[in-house]
Amino acid sequence: MIDMKEFQGAILAAGRGSRMAPFSESYPKPILPVGNKPLIERQIETMKELGIREITILIGHKGFQISKVLGDGSRLGVSITYVEQTSALGIAHAVGRLEAQIQKPFLLFLGDIFFVAEDMARMFELYRQQGGGAVLGAKEEDDPKLIQNNFSIALSPDGFATRVVEKPRHATNRLKGVGVYLFDLTVFDAIRRTPRTAMRDEYEITDSIQVMIQDGLPVRPCTCIKQDINMTSPADLLRCNLLLASSMPAESMIGLDTSLHQQARVSNSVIGKNVIVRNPIPITNSLIFDNTDVDSTSGFQNFILTPDCIVDCNHSIQNGHIHGQRI
Protein backbone atom coordinates (compact mmCIF):
# COMPACT_ATOMS: atom_id res chain seq x y z
CA MET A 1 0.00 0.00 0.00
CA ILE A 2 1.38 3.40 -1.02
CA ASP A 3 1.30 6.11 1.65
CA MET A 4 0.44 9.29 -0.26
CA LYS A 5 1.64 11.40 2.67
CA GLU A 6 5.11 10.57 1.38
CA PHE A 7 4.48 12.71 -1.73
CA GLN A 8 4.07 16.41 -2.44
CA GLY A 9 2.51 18.23 -5.37
CA ALA A 10 3.93 21.03 -7.51
CA ILE A 11 2.42 23.18 -10.26
CA LEU A 12 4.28 25.55 -12.58
CA ALA A 13 2.00 28.55 -13.07
CA ALA A 14 4.38 31.40 -13.89
CA GLY A 15 4.17 31.70 -17.69
CA ARG A 16 3.16 34.93 -19.41
CA GLY A 17 0.99 33.28 -22.07
CA SER A 18 1.43 36.00 -24.69
CA ARG A 19 -0.33 33.90 -27.34
CA MET A 20 -3.42 33.86 -25.13
CA ALA A 21 -4.16 37.52 -25.96
CA PRO A 22 -6.49 39.24 -25.37
CA PHE A 23 -6.98 37.22 -22.16
CA SER A 24 -3.34 37.46 -21.10
CA GLU A 25 -3.84 41.18 -20.47
CA SER A 26 -6.16 40.37 -17.57
CA TYR A 27 -5.74 36.71 -16.58
CA PRO A 28 -2.82 34.39 -15.94
CA LYS A 29 -3.52 31.23 -17.93
CA PRO A 30 -3.91 28.89 -14.91
CA ILE A 31 -7.00 30.74 -13.66
CA LEU A 32 -8.80 30.81 -17.00
CA PRO A 33 -12.10 28.92 -16.64
CA VAL A 34 -12.59 25.33 -17.73
CA GLY A 35 -16.11 24.16 -16.97
CA ASN A 36 -16.60 27.20 -14.70
CA LYS A 37 -13.57 26.41 -12.54
CA PRO A 38 -10.06 27.83 -12.86
CA LEU A 39 -7.86 25.32 -14.69
CA ILE A 40 -5.40 25.22 -11.80
CA GLU A 41 -8.22 24.42 -9.36
CA ARG A 42 -9.02 21.33 -11.41
CA GLN A 43 -5.36 20.32 -11.22
CA ILE A 44 -5.35 20.75 -7.45
CA GLU A 45 -8.51 18.63 -7.19
CA THR A 46 -6.75 15.88 -9.15
CA MET A 47 -3.85 15.93 -6.68
CA LYS A 48 -6.21 15.90 -3.73
CA GLU A 49 -8.12 12.92 -5.14
CA LEU A 50 -4.80 11.06 -5.31
CA GLY A 51 -4.18 11.85 -1.63
CA ILE A 52 -1.69 14.71 -2.02
CA ARG A 53 -2.29 17.57 0.41
CA GLU A 54 0.95 19.62 0.30
CA ILE A 55 1.25 21.62 -2.92
CA THR A 56 3.84 24.19 -4.02
CA ILE A 57 2.93 26.57 -6.84
CA LEU A 58 5.43 28.60 -8.86
CA ILE A 59 3.92 31.95 -9.77
CA GLY A 60 5.14 34.82 -11.92
CA HIS A 61 3.05 36.85 -14.40
CA LYS A 62 0.07 38.25 -12.47
CA GLY A 63 0.79 35.68 -9.79
CA PHE A 64 -1.08 37.70 -7.18
CA GLN A 65 -4.29 36.81 -9.02
CA ILE A 66 -3.52 33.10 -8.65
CA SER A 67 -2.85 33.44 -4.93
CA LYS A 68 -6.01 35.53 -4.57
CA VAL A 69 -8.12 32.77 -6.17
CA LEU A 70 -6.51 29.86 -4.30
CA GLY A 71 -5.43 31.42 -1.02
CA ASP A 72 -3.68 29.01 1.32
CA GLY A 73 -5.58 26.07 -0.19
CA SER A 74 -7.82 25.44 2.82
CA ARG A 75 -10.97 26.03 0.74
CA LEU A 76 -9.88 23.11 -1.44
CA GLY A 77 -8.72 20.90 1.42
CA VAL A 78 -4.98 21.28 0.73
CA SER A 79 -2.05 23.37 1.92
CA ILE A 80 -0.50 25.67 -0.70
CA THR A 81 2.93 27.31 -0.62
CA TYR A 82 3.91 29.86 -3.28
CA VAL A 83 7.32 30.44 -4.83
CA GLU A 84 7.92 33.40 -7.13
CA GLN A 85 9.74 33.01 -10.43
CA THR A 86 12.44 35.63 -10.90
CA SER A 87 13.34 34.82 -14.52
CA ALA A 88 11.85 32.67 -17.28
CA LEU A 89 14.58 30.28 -18.40
CA GLY A 90 12.70 27.08 -19.18
CA ILE A 91 10.84 24.36 -17.32
CA ALA A 92 13.91 22.79 -15.70
CA HIS A 93 14.97 26.17 -14.32
CA ALA A 94 11.41 26.70 -13.01
CA VAL A 95 11.41 23.32 -11.26
CA GLY A 96 14.76 24.15 -9.73
CA ARG A 97 13.22 27.20 -8.11
CA LEU A 98 11.01 24.87 -6.05
CA GLU A 99 13.83 22.87 -4.47
CA ALA A 100 13.81 24.61 -1.08
CA GLN A 101 10.10 23.79 -0.65
CA ILE A 102 10.18 20.20 -1.92
CA GLN A 103 11.26 17.67 0.68
CA LYS A 104 9.59 14.54 -0.74
CA PRO A 105 9.03 12.87 -4.10
CA PHE A 106 6.57 15.06 -5.97
CA LEU A 107 3.92 15.03 -8.66
CA LEU A 108 4.46 17.93 -11.06
CA PHE A 109 1.91 19.51 -13.40
CA LEU A 110 2.45 22.24 -15.95
CA GLY A 111 -0.20 24.81 -15.07
CA ASP A 112 -1.39 25.41 -18.63
CA ILE A 113 -2.23 21.78 -19.47
CA PHE A 114 -5.79 20.48 -19.42
CA PHE A 115 -5.89 16.71 -19.29
CA VAL A 116 -8.27 13.84 -18.73
CA ALA A 117 -6.60 11.00 -16.85
CA GLU A 118 -7.48 7.38 -16.31
CA ASP A 119 -6.13 5.75 -13.14
CA MET A 120 -3.29 8.19 -12.48
CA ALA A 121 -2.56 6.18 -9.33
CA ARG A 122 -0.68 3.81 -11.66
CA MET A 123 2.11 6.40 -11.82
CA PHE A 124 2.74 5.90 -8.11
CA GLU A 125 2.61 2.12 -8.40
CA LEU A 126 5.25 2.21 -11.15
CA TYR A 127 7.33 4.58 -9.03
CA ARG A 128 7.16 2.15 -6.10
CA GLN A 129 8.02 -0.84 -8.28
CA GLN A 130 11.11 0.79 -9.75
CA GLY A 131 12.29 2.31 -6.48
CA GLY A 132 12.26 6.00 -7.37
CA GLY A 133 13.60 7.91 -10.36
CA ALA A 134 10.83 9.31 -12.53
CA VAL A 135 7.51 8.33 -14.05
CA LEU A 136 6.31 10.39 -17.02
CA GLY A 137 2.62 10.92 -17.68
CA ALA A 138 2.15 9.93 -21.32
CA LYS A 139 -0.40 9.42 -24.07
CA GLU A 140 -0.51 7.22 -27.14
CA GLU A 141 -0.76 9.92 -29.81
CA ASP A 142 -1.92 9.35 -33.38
CA ASP A 143 -1.10 12.86 -34.66
CA PRO A 144 2.67 13.30 -35.25
CA LYS A 145 2.28 17.10 -35.10
CA LEU A 146 1.06 16.89 -31.53
CA ILE A 147 4.11 14.82 -30.58
CA GLN A 148 6.28 17.48 -32.24
CA ASN A 149 4.65 20.11 -30.01
CA ASN A 150 5.48 18.16 -26.83
CA PHE A 151 8.17 15.52 -26.34
CA SER A 152 8.65 11.96 -27.44
CA ILE A 153 9.71 9.01 -25.30
CA ALA A 154 11.83 6.19 -26.74
CA LEU A 155 11.72 2.88 -24.88
CA SER A 156 13.91 -0.12 -24.23
CA PRO A 157 12.38 -3.60 -24.70
CA ASP A 158 11.61 -3.76 -20.97
CA GLY A 159 9.61 -0.51 -21.08
CA PHE A 160 12.07 1.95 -19.55
CA ALA A 161 12.80 5.28 -21.22
CA THR A 162 16.07 5.43 -23.11
CA ARG A 163 15.64 8.83 -24.70
CA VAL A 164 13.32 11.83 -24.33
CA VAL A 165 13.37 14.43 -27.09
CA GLU A 166 11.84 17.89 -26.82
CA LYS A 167 9.73 18.83 -29.86
CA PRO A 168 11.14 16.05 -32.07
CA ARG A 169 11.23 16.34 -35.84
CA HIS A 170 10.94 12.57 -36.13
CA ALA A 171 9.38 10.56 -33.29
CA THR A 172 10.26 6.86 -33.16
CA ASN A 173 6.87 5.82 -31.76
CA ARG A 174 3.48 7.24 -30.76
CA LEU A 175 4.40 7.88 -27.13
CA LYS A 176 3.99 11.54 -26.18
CA GLY A 177 4.86 13.27 -22.90
CA VAL A 178 2.10 15.57 -21.69
CA GLY A 179 3.43 17.82 -18.91
CA VAL A 180 2.69 15.45 -16.00
CA TYR A 181 5.68 14.08 -14.06
CA LEU A 182 6.44 12.12 -10.89
CA PHE A 183 9.99 12.75 -9.66
CA ASP A 184 12.15 11.81 -6.74
CA LEU A 185 14.59 14.37 -5.37
CA THR A 186 17.41 13.29 -7.69
CA VAL A 187 15.79 15.48 -10.36
CA PHE A 188 17.26 18.53 -8.63
CA ASP A 189 20.79 17.15 -9.02
CA ALA A 190 20.00 16.51 -12.69
CA ILE A 191 18.72 20.08 -13.12
CA ARG A 192 21.99 21.46 -11.75
CA ARG A 193 23.79 19.58 -14.54
CA THR A 194 21.36 20.56 -17.31
CA PRO A 195 22.83 22.78 -20.04
CA ARG A 196 20.93 25.46 -21.90
CA THR A 197 19.56 24.33 -25.23
CA ALA A 198 20.84 25.65 -28.53
CA MET A 199 17.34 26.00 -29.96
CA ARG A 200 15.63 28.10 -27.29
CA ASP A 201 18.46 29.06 -24.92
CA GLU A 202 16.50 27.55 -22.02
CA TYR A 203 16.89 24.75 -19.50
CA GLU A 204 14.58 21.98 -20.73
CA ILE A 205 13.13 19.44 -18.31
CA THR A 206 13.55 16.78 -20.98
CA ASP A 207 17.32 17.34 -20.84
CA SER A 208 17.20 16.93 -17.05
CA ILE A 209 15.28 13.68 -17.48
CA GLN A 210 17.93 12.54 -19.97
CA VAL A 211 20.60 13.23 -17.35
CA MET A 212 18.68 10.98 -14.95
CA ILE A 213 18.54 8.22 -17.59
CA GLN A 214 22.27 8.53 -18.27
CA ASP A 215 22.93 8.27 -14.54
CA GLY A 216 21.16 4.90 -14.56
CA LEU A 217 18.08 6.08 -12.69
CA PRO A 218 14.81 4.35 -13.63
CA VAL A 219 12.50 6.42 -15.84
CA ARG A 220 9.29 4.97 -17.25
CA PRO A 221 6.20 6.35 -18.98
CA CYS A 222 2.68 5.74 -17.73
CA THR A 223 0.00 5.98 -20.41
CA CYS A 224 -2.67 7.19 -17.99
CA ILE A 225 -3.53 10.36 -19.92
CA LYS A 226 -6.44 9.91 -22.33
CA GLN A 227 -6.92 13.50 -23.50
CA ASP A 228 -4.69 16.55 -23.23
CA ILE A 229 -4.69 20.10 -24.54
CA ASN A 230 -1.81 22.57 -24.30
CA MET A 231 -3.63 25.80 -23.55
CA THR A 232 -1.67 28.29 -25.62
CA SER A 233 -4.37 30.23 -27.50
CA PRO A 234 -8.00 31.29 -27.00
CA ALA A 235 -9.07 28.52 -29.39
CA ASP A 236 -7.37 26.01 -27.05
CA LEU A 237 -9.30 27.43 -24.10
CA LEU A 238 -12.52 26.90 -26.01
CA ARG A 239 -11.49 23.34 -26.92
CA CYS A 240 -10.84 22.55 -23.23
CA ASN A 241 -14.31 23.73 -22.30
CA LEU A 242 -16.05 21.93 -25.14
CA LEU A 243 -14.24 18.70 -24.35
CA LEU A 244 -15.45 18.88 -20.77
CA ALA A 245 -18.97 20.00 -21.77
CA SER A 246 -19.33 17.05 -24.14
CA SER A 247 -19.03 14.62 -21.22
CA MET A 248 -21.08 16.48 -18.61
CA PRO A 249 -24.80 17.19 -18.12
CA ALA A 250 -25.68 20.43 -19.92
CA GLU A 251 -27.18 22.00 -16.81
CA SER A 252 -23.91 21.54 -14.89
CA MET A 253 -22.16 23.80 -17.40
CA ILE A 254 -24.33 26.81 -16.52
CA GLY A 255 -23.18 28.83 -13.52
CA LEU A 256 -25.16 30.10 -10.55
CA ASP A 257 -27.32 33.21 -10.77
CA THR A 258 -27.26 33.18 -14.57
CA SER A 259 -30.30 34.48 -16.44
CA LEU A 260 -31.02 33.19 -19.95
CA HIS A 261 -33.79 34.48 -22.17
CA GLN A 262 -36.46 31.80 -22.11
CA GLN A 263 -36.10 31.30 -25.87
CA ALA A 264 -32.30 31.29 -25.94
CA ARG A 265 -30.96 27.94 -27.19
CA VAL A 266 -27.75 26.67 -25.61
CA SER A 267 -25.91 23.70 -27.11
CA ASN A 268 -22.60 22.18 -25.99
CA SER A 269 -21.50 25.39 -24.33
CA VAL A 270 -20.20 26.59 -20.96
CA ILE A 271 -21.80 29.65 -19.39
CA GLY A 272 -20.40 31.18 -16.22
CA LYS A 273 -22.10 32.61 -13.17
CA ASN A 274 -23.93 35.95 -13.09
CA VAL A 275 -24.34 35.93 -16.88
CA ILE A 276 -27.28 37.62 -18.58
CA VAL A 277 -28.38 36.58 -22.09
CA ARG A 278 -31.03 39.11 -23.00
CA ASN A 279 -32.27 37.90 -26.39
CA PRO A 280 -33.60 34.66 -27.95
CA ILE A 281 -30.34 33.71 -29.62
CA PRO A 282 -28.60 30.37 -30.24
CA ILE A 283 -25.33 29.78 -28.36
CA THR A 284 -23.43 26.80 -29.75
CA ASN A 285 -19.96 25.43 -28.96
CA SER A 286 -19.13 28.61 -27.06
CA LEU A 287 -17.79 29.84 -23.71
CA ILE A 288 -19.13 32.78 -21.72
CA PHE A 289 -17.10 34.08 -18.78
CA ASP A 290 -18.62 35.02 -15.42
CA ASN A 291 -20.39 38.38 -15.14
CA THR A 292 -20.92 38.85 -18.88
CA ASP A 293 -23.96 40.77 -20.11
CA VAL A 294 -24.85 39.49 -23.59
CA ASP A 295 -27.22 41.86 -25.40
CA SER A 296 -26.44 40.77 -28.95
CA THR A 297 -29.35 39.93 -31.23
CA SER A 298 -27.16 37.53 -33.24
CA GLY A 299 -26.21 34.05 -32.12
CA PHE A 300 -22.74 32.71 -31.37
CA GLN A 301 -20.99 29.56 -32.57
CA ASN A 302 -17.37 28.85 -31.59
CA PHE A 303 -17.03 32.12 -29.70
CA ILE A 304 -15.66 33.18 -26.32
CA LEU A 305 -17.41 36.07 -24.61
CA THR A 306 -16.08 37.97 -21.59
CA PRO A 307 -17.27 41.14 -19.86
CA ASP A 308 -14.74 43.05 -21.98
CA CYS A 309 -14.42 41.37 -25.36
CA ILE A 310 -15.66 38.84 -27.88
CA VAL A 311 -13.24 36.36 -29.42
CA ASP A 312 -14.18 34.60 -32.65
CA CYS A 313 -12.45 31.23 -32.61
CA ASN A 314 -13.75 30.37 -36.10
CA HIS A 315 -11.56 33.15 -37.39
CA SER A 316 -8.53 31.91 -35.46
CA ILE A 317 -8.86 28.40 -36.83
CA GLN A 318 -9.23 29.57 -40.42
CA ASN A 319 -6.57 32.27 -40.42
CA GLY A 320 -4.10 31.26 -37.75
CA HIS A 321 -4.69 34.17 -35.39
CA ILE A 322 -7.27 35.56 -33.00
CA HIS A 323 -9.62 38.41 -33.72
CA GLY A 324 -10.89 40.18 -30.62
CA GLN A 325 -13.29 43.08 -30.53
CA ARG A 326 -14.75 45.15 -27.75
CA ILE A 327 -18.34 44.52 -26.81
User: CATH number for the domain including 164?
Assistant: 3.90.550.10
Q: What is the pLDDT of residue 258?
A: 97
Task: Indicate the pLDDT class of residue 126, thresholds 50, 70 and 90.
Answer: very high
Q: Please indicate, yes or no, whether residues 42 and 123 belong to a single structural domain of this protein.
A: yes
Task: Indicate the pLDDT class of residue 141, thresholds 50, 70 and 90.
Answer: very high
Q: What is the pLDDT of residue 19?
A: 80
- How many separate domains does the chain show? 2
155: amino acid identity, one letter: L
Is the pLDDT higher at 23 or at 244?
244
Domain boundary among 214, 230, 246: 230
pLDDT of 16 over the 70 cut? yes
pLDDT of 274 over the 90 cut? yes
Q: What is the pLDDT of residue 92?
A: 95
Q: What is the pLDDT of residue 199?
A: 66
Read off the pLDDT of residues 159-217 as tens digits, 9 standing for 90 and up: 999 999 988 888 888 999 999 999 999 999 999 999 887 667 789 999 999 999 999 99
Q: Please indicate, yes or no, whether residues 153 and 290 belong to a single structural domain of this protein.
A: no
Q: What is the pLDDT of residue 172?
A: 81
Q: Please indicate, yes or no, whether residues 319 and 199 belong to a single structural domain of this protein.
A: no
Q: Please indicate, yes or no, whether residues 207 and 164 belong to a single structural domain of this protein.
A: yes
Domain boundary among 230, 249, 280: 230
Q: What is the pLDDT of residue 210?
A: 97
Task: Indicate the pLDDT class of residue 322, thresholds 50, 70 and 90.
Answer: very low
Domain boundary among 230, 260, 279: 230
Q: What is the pLDDT of residue 198?
A: 62
Average pLDDT, the chain: 91
Q: Please indicate, yes or no, whether residues 16 and 133 belong to a single structural domain of this protein.
A: yes
Region 14-42: mean pLDDT is 88
CA distance 286 to 274: 16
Q: Please indicate, yes or no, whether residues 84 and 164 belong to a single structural domain of this protein.
A: yes
pLDDT of 236 over the 70 cut? yes
CA distance 167 to 111: 19
Containing domain of residue 301, as a range?
Answer: 234-326
Q: What is the pLDDT of residue 318?
A: 45
Task: Indicate the pLDDT class of residue 54, thresholds 50, 70 and 90.
Answer: very high
Q: Please indicate, yes or no, whether residues 46 and 181 belong to a single structural domain of this protein.
A: yes
pLDDT of 317 over the 60 cut? no
Q: Please indicate, yes or no, whether residues 111 and 191 belong to a single structural domain of this protein.
A: yes
Cβ-proximal residues to 11 (8 Å cutoff; 6+ apart), any chain: 30, 40, 43, 44, 55, 56, 57, 58, 108, 109, 110, 111
At 169, is the secondary structure helix, strand, or coil?
coil
Read off the pLDDT of residues 62-100 as tens digits, 9 standing for 90 and up: 899 999 999 999 999 999 999 999 888 899 999 999 999
175 neighbors 225 (Cβ within 8 angstroms)? no
